Amino acid sequence: MGLLSLGTPLTWEEARPYADLVRERGIEQLLNIWKKAKSKERDILLWGDEIEYLVVSYDEDSKDARLSLRQAEILKDLAHDEELRKAGGCVPSLQEINQKPGQRVPTFHAEYGRFMLEATPGAPYGGMLRDLLTVEPDMKKRRVIAKQHMTNNETPITMTSFPRLGVPGPFTQPYYPPHGPIARSIFVPDEIINPHIRFPTLTANIRSRRGSKVCINLPVFYDEKTPNPFKDPTVQYDLSDYPEDGDVRNGAAKDGHVYMDAMGFGMGSCCLQITFQAKNISEARTLYDQLCPLGPIMLALSAASPIFKGYLTDIDCRWNIISGAVDDRTEEERGLKPLNENKYVIPKSRYDSVSTYISQDPGFRPEYNDVDIHQNLPLKQQLLDGGMDEPLAKHFAHLFIRDPLVIFSESIKNYLVENNDNFENIQSTNWQHMRFKPPPSAEDAIGWRVEFRSMEVQLTDFENAAFSIFIVLLTRTILSYGLNFYIPISKVSENMETAHRRDAVLSEKFYFRKQVFPPRYANRSGKGTSVSPGGSMSNTPKPVELGPVEDEYCLMTINEIMNGQPGPDGFPGLISMIESYLNSVNVDVETRCELARYLDLIRKRSNGTWETAATWIRNFVRSHPEYEKDSRVSVAVNYDLIKAAETLGNGEGKGTSLWKGLFEKR
Ligand code: ADP
Ligand code: MG
Ligand code: MG
Ligand code: MG
Ligand code: MG
Ligand code: MG
C-alpha cells in the first residue's frame, strides 16, 4: 500500500468536495518533480522485491489453521529488535550487516490485512549479476526473522490467498463475528482490516463512493459431488442491519459462483512485486512499456490462488478478485445508469491492467495504444503547458480521472508543492499491473522506477527468487538487445483475462509479438541466439516498411513464449534470449550455474514438467482423503494444506510426496 500518512481522515462525503483540489495539487507536485528530475541520469541498476506473507495461527487440539490478527504486535516486536541493533546490543548493527554483501537486514511493513506482513530487502540489490545469488538467501532470512517474532503456534506462509477467509464459523485468531459497520460484509469482520485509520477509511470510502458493497463472483469449480447448479449456500439474504444488506436481494450473488463482498478478499491476498530503478526517465519508460505485455504471461505462470472463501474455484489467480474488491465506480461509471452526477463511463476498476503505453522509442507505433481512454483534460493541459510530452501527460491524465479516496484534513491545510502527498494520493490508488514511479521528490537520490506488479507469491523462496531473477534478467536482456515486445494494449488486457482461467499456463494461448529483435539484429539472425549485445536503438538503420499491426503478433502458448517454437522461423523463446545475453557478458561459472537453476524453474513451469502452485494446491485438496469432492475446503483439509505450505516454505519436504508436482514430475 502507499504512504501511511497520519492524521484525521475524511469520510467520503467530507472528502468529495476536495477531490478537484487534491488532483490539482497532485499535478502541481508531479510537475515540480518532473521538471527537476527529468534530466536525472544515473548508471546503476537498483532493484528490489516485495514479498507478502499470511500469518497463520494453529490450534493443534482442534487441528485448525486460522489467520492470526497479530500483525501490529509482530511489527512492533520487529521494530524493537531493530532498535536493539541500532543501540549496538548483542545483535550486529544494521550498518555492519549491510556492509557484507547479501547480509542486508530486511524491512517489514504493514499491509491491508491484519493477518499480513510485507518484507523487502533492507536495501535494494545492485546491478552485479553475482548479487542475484543473494536474493534467495535474503528471502529465506526474512522468513526466519519474521518467524522469530511470532508465537510458537504462529507461522508466516507465502500463500497467495488464504483458503478459508470468509467461511461461516471462525477463520481468524481471535474470532470476531462478521458484519461490521466499515466493510458491512456478510462474511468477514472489520477486525481483519489493518486498524491504521487509512485502511478502514479506504474500505468505507470505496463502498460509499460506489453506492454498494464491492461485488466479486468467481465461477465455482464443479467437482464430482458439487451441487449443480451451484448456489453459494453461505450467502445470507435476510439481514437488514445496513442498507448494503440489500445487495444480495438485488442479485449481487450469481448462481454458479462463489460470492464475495469485501475489500479484504482482494487486498487480503499476497503477491510478489519487483521494482527497478532505471538509469534515466527514458529508460524507465522503455521498461514500463516492454514489461507491460509480460504482465499477463507472468500472472498465468505464477498462478497460485485456486481457492477462495472455502471453495475450489475455476480460476487460478487473484488479480480480478482484487480488481473487484477495490472497484469504487458508481453505477453511472459502470454504465448501468445514464451519466448524471459522474463525468465518465469507465471500463476498468482502479485495480486493472495498464491502458496506455508511455515510451517514445522508435519501436512504438501509435496503433499499439488502441484503447480510447478517459483523461482529465484540464490537468493534462497543465502538464503539456509545463512542458511534458503527450504520451506521459496522457498516462498521468488517465490516472487523474479517479477521485482521491482517503484525504487527511492535515494534508489539505499543510500543502507544499515540494511534497508528493497529493500526487501519491491518486498515484498509489491506481493499482495497474505496471507502475511508473517518479522520484519521491525533486531533490531525491532515488531515480525513476518501474514496478512489475502482476505476479502471485510462491510457496517457496526458491520460486520467489526464480521469478524475481527471471524478471531482472529479462530487463537486462531487453535493454541490451533493444527488444521490442509491443502488441496492441487491448491484447494485453485480453491476455490478462485469459491468464485467470484454470491451468491457463498449459491450456491457453496468449497474444505475443512474433519478431522481437530490432531490425539490425533481425536481418542478421532471426533466432537471436547469435546476436551480440548492442547499444541503444538509435543506431537502427532506416526503418523497414511497416506492415499491418495485426501481422506482428499471434497466439502462442506460454511454453512457446518461454522455451521457443521449433524451426528456423519459430519464436526463439525468452529463456534462450536471456541465455544469449548471459553468454555475452562476463559471468563466473558459479553464478552462471546458479542462475541456470532459476531459469530451469521457469522453463519447467512453462512446459508443464512442474506444476504451478495453483495446480499443486488444487491437486492437494482433491486427493486429500477427507475431501468430499464437493469443492469445499474443510477445516481438516485446510489445516493439512497450510502445514504443507509451511513445510515447503521452510525449505523442507524434499523427497516427500509434497515435492511431487511442484519440483518433481508427478
Ligand atoms: P511500494 O509498496 O510502494 O511498491 P516498497 O517500498 O514496499 O514500495 O518496495 C519497493 C521496493 O523497491 C523494495 O524492494 C526496495 O528494495 C526497492 N527499492 C528501493 N529503493 C529503490 C531504488 N532507488 N531503486 C529501485 N528499487 C528500489
Ligand atoms: Mg504490498
Ligand atoms: Mg505497496
Ligand atoms: Mg510495499
Ligand atoms: Mg509495491
Ligand atoms: Mg479486469
Grid-cell match 503505453, residue found: 357
User: 46 CB less than 6 Å from ligand 1?
Assistant: yes
Cell numbers that stand for 44 in this block:
546503476
**Which residue's alpha carbon is nearest to atom 3 within ligand 1?**
2
Which pLDDT band holds residue 156 (cuts at 50, 70, 90)? Answer: very high
Mutate which of 3, 49, 50 to test ligand 1's pocket (most atoms within 8 Å of Cβ)?
A: 50
Q: Which atom of ligand 1 is nearest to the CA of 447?
A: 23
Residue 43, pLDDT above cutoff 80: no
Categorize the per-residue pLDDT at 84 as very low, low, confident or very high, splitting at 50, 70 and 90.
low
Q: Are strands 272-277 and 449-452 parallel, antiparallel or unpaired?
A: antiparallel
- What is the band of 90 on the pLDDT scale with cuts at 50, 70, 90? very low
Ligand 1: which atom is nearest the Cα of residue 453? 4
Asked which of 68-77, 507-516, 540-549, 577-586 is least confident by mean pLDDT, the reply is 540-549
**What SS3 string covers 23-39?**
HHHHHHHHHHHHHHHCC
Looking at the DSSP bridge assignments, the partners of residue 501 are: 315
Amino acid symbol at 363: G
Q: Is the pLDDT of residue 415 over 70?
A: yes
Confirm if 438 and 448 have CB atoms less than 8 A apart. yes
Model pLDDT, residue 86: 63
Residue 345 pLDDT more than 90? yes
**pLDDT of residue 300 exceeding 80:** yes
Unique residue bearing C-alpha cell 474500505: 203
Ligand 1 atom 20: the closest Cα is on which residue? Answer: 124
What is the arithmetic mean of pLDDT over 174-200? 97
DSSP letter for 224, please: T
E strand segments, 200-306? 216-219, 257-260, 272-277
C-alpha cell at 496: 490478462
Task: Please tell me the distance between residue 425's alpha carbon and the centre of ligand 6 in angstroms.
Answer: 22
Which numbered ligand comes closest to the C-alpha of 437?
1
Atom of ligand 1 nearest to the CA of 49: 14
- Ligand 2 centre to CA of 120 (Å) is 9
The SS3 of residue 310 is coil
CA of 470 to the centre of ligand 4 (A): 20
Q: Is the pLDDT of residue 60 over 90?
A: yes
Confidence check: pLDDT of 536 > 80:
no
Share of the chain above pLDDT 90, in %: 87
Average pLDDT rounded to a whole number, residues 63-72: 97
Q: Is 275 in the pocket of ligand 1 (CB under 6 A)?
A: yes
The pLDDT > 70 percentage for the chain reads 92
Smallest CA-to-CA distance from 216 within 266, 177, 171 is with 266
Distances (CA, A) of 654 to 611, 647, 657: 16, 9, 8
47 lines ligand 1 (CB under 6 A): yes
The residue ranges of DSSP E strands in 510-622, in sequence order, are: 510-513, 553-556
Least confident of 9-13, 196-200, 537-541: 537-541
Checking if the pLDDT of 522 tops 60, the result is: no
Tell me, what's the pLDDT at 5? 56
List Cα–Cα distances, 530 to 484, 524, 582, 611, in angstroms: 17, 9, 12, 32
- Give the mean pLDDT of 483-490: 98
Residue closest by Cα to atom 19 of ligand 1: 124
Residue nearest to atom 6 of ligand 1 (CA): 120
DSSP type of residue 560:
H
Length of the chain as a residue count? 666
Instruction: Answer yes or no: are the C-beta atoms of 633 and 621 closer than 8 Å.
Output: yes
The more confident residue out of 86 and 593 is 593
pLDDT at 57 over 50: yes
Torsion over CA of 318, 322, 323 and 324, rounded to 10 degrees? 110
For residue 228, give every residue at least 6 positions away whose Cβ sits within 8 Å of its Cβ, in sequence order, or none: 222
> What residues have CB less than 8 Å from 488, skipping those under 6 apart?
367, 368, 370, 549, 553
Verify whether ligand 1 is closer than 6 Å to residue 48 (CB atom).
yes
Phi-psi region of 512 (alpha: psi -120 to 50; beta: other; left: phi over 0): beta
Q: What is the largest CA-CA distance in the chain?
A: 73
Cα-atom radius of gyration of the chain, to the nearest Å?
24
pLDDT in tens, 211-228: 999 999 999 999 999 999
| Chain mean position to CA 338 | 33
- Tell whether the model's pLDDT for residue 540 goes beyond 60: no
**Which of 3, 271, 275 has most ligand 1 atoms within 8 Å of CB, for mutation?**
275
What's the pLDDT score for residue 544?
65
Tens digits of per-residue pLDDT, 634-651?
Answer: 999 999 999 999 999 999
| 183 alpha carbon, distance to own chain's centre | 23
Closest ligand 1 atom to the C-alpha of 435?
4
pLDDT at 406 over 60: yes
Give the nearest ligand 1 atom to 124 CA: 16
Q: How are beta strands 46-59 and 154-157 bridged, if at all?
A: antiparallel
Protein residue with least CA distance to atom 15, ligand 1: 48
| Distance of alpha carbon 278 from the chain centroid | 20
CA distances from 665 to 283, 437, 573, 654 (A): 40, 40, 22, 13
pLDDT at 186 over 60: yes
Q: Cell for 469?
A: 531473477
Answer whether 638 contacts ligand 1 (Cβ < 6 A).
no
Mean pLDDT across the stretch 28-36? 97
What is the chain's mean pLDDT, rounded? 93
What's the predicted TM-score (pTM) here?
0.95
CB 146 within 8 A of CB 139: no
